[in-house]
């Protein structure tokens, strides 16, 4: 690790070196994390040299206020750092200051009072049309037991064909599928109810599973069962998708939730409007749907221009 030169006084430099050594020897942090923390604190002390018009001392560190840390984050943002980098910068500084505070050398309250930058929402990438169709087809299922293969295909079909959350699919009851049904009534987050179209191909996948399932499916009991007859657990479907990633060369981002994401993205690409997709997904706000589908501002305006009667 590179030592600081004239951007901190010798005592502060020595304490920083001791802190890094404690992270390596006592907390056993990885070399990558240690390098990141070294870089973060070096950048901060370099900033303080200009901010304080001279090399920082422990007394200077003790006197820092939340505004000083915000000024550092603002300077880093101006240099092009994103929210993730800024969050890591602040985490490294807080770790150093807590170390110094435990030794009675500084007060770490200033850094603790600064909120970490809001991190961007991380969403799974959608599968391609071909990849999604492969996952939901019964022929692609890997389990040797026919009824379990049909079960997995039916669950995946509900995620991709109806845009359900995995928890919503596994909470379905046999009574939710009346003969000739063309819609499903789904109870989602916040106990909110919505109607989603039930495609014939999805209905047929569910019916194929019901015909093969060896357990008696009471009308108000869970529709999807595990191998021993209990309610099917999310972890089983997640592991099944993991095996399919390996078998079919799917990306690591191919998860059960990615099928719901694919449902929304493919609808939008096919000309669906955001407001309808919002209703189908059960999102409380349109902004959530905009982020979820990855639509940019120009696409959003295009949708409104096409749909609004005064456009």
Active site residues: 165, 189, 257, 260, 283, 292
Sign of CA dihedral 98, 102, 104, 109: positive
Residues 6+ apart with CB under 8 A from 191: none
- Reported in sequence order, the residue ranges of the chain that DSSP labels E, i.e. its strands, are 183-187, 193-197
CB 69 within 8 A of CB 117: no
The Cα 275–Cα 291 span in angstroms is 13
Buried-state track 190-220, b at ≥16 Cβ within 10 A, e below 16? eeeebebebeeebbebbebbbeebeeebeee
Helices (H) and strands (E) counted in the chain, each on its own, are 15, 2
Residues 6+ apart with CB under 8 A from 181: 198, 203
> Quick one: 158 exposed, middle or buried, by C-beta within 10 A (0-12, 13-18, 19+)?
buried
267 C-beta neighbours (distance < 10 Å), count = 18
**DSSP class of residue 117?**
P
The helix/strand/coil state of 184 is strand
Closest CA to 290 of 311, 264, 260: 264
């Amino acid at each position: 690790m590179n030592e600081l030169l004239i951007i901190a006084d010798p005592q502060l430099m020595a304490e920083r070196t001791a802190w890094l050594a404690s992270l390596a020897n006592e907390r056993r942090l990885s070399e990558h994390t240690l390098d990141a923390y070294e870089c973060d604190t070096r950048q901060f002390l370099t900033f303080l040299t200009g901010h304080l018009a001279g090399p920082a001392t422990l007394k200077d560190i003790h006197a820092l206020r939340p505004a000083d840390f915000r000024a550092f984050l603002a300077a880093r943002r101006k240099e092009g750092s994103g929210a993730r980098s800024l969050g890591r910068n602040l985490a490294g500084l807080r770790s150093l200051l807590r170390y110094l505070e435990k030794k009675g050398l500084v007060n770490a309250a200033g850094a603790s009072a600064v909120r970490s930058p809001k991190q961007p929402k991380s969403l799974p990438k959608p599968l391609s049309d071909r990849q999604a169709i492969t996952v939901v087809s019964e022929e692609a299922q890997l389990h040797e037991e026919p009824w379990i293969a049909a079960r997995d295909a039916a669950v995946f079909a509900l995620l991709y064909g109806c845009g359900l959350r995995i928890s919503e699919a596994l909470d379905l009851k046999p009574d939710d599928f009346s003969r000739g049904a063309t819609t499903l009534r789904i109870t989602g987050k916040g106990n909110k109810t919505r109607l989603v179209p039930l495609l014939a191909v999805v209905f047929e996948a569910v019916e194929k599973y019901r015909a093969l399932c060896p357990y008696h499916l009471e009308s108000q009991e869970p529709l999807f069962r595990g191998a021993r007859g209990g309610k099917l657990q999310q972890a089983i479907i997640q592991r099944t998708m993991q095996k399919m990633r390996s078998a079919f060369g799917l990306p690591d981002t191919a998860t059960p939730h990615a099928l719901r994401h694919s449902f929304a993205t493919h609808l939008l690409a096919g000309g669906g409007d955001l407001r309808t997709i919002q209703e189908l997904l059960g999102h409380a706000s349109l902004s959530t749907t905009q982020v979820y589908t990855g639509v940019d501002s120009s696409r959003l305006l295009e949708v409104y221009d096409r749909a609004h009667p005064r456009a």
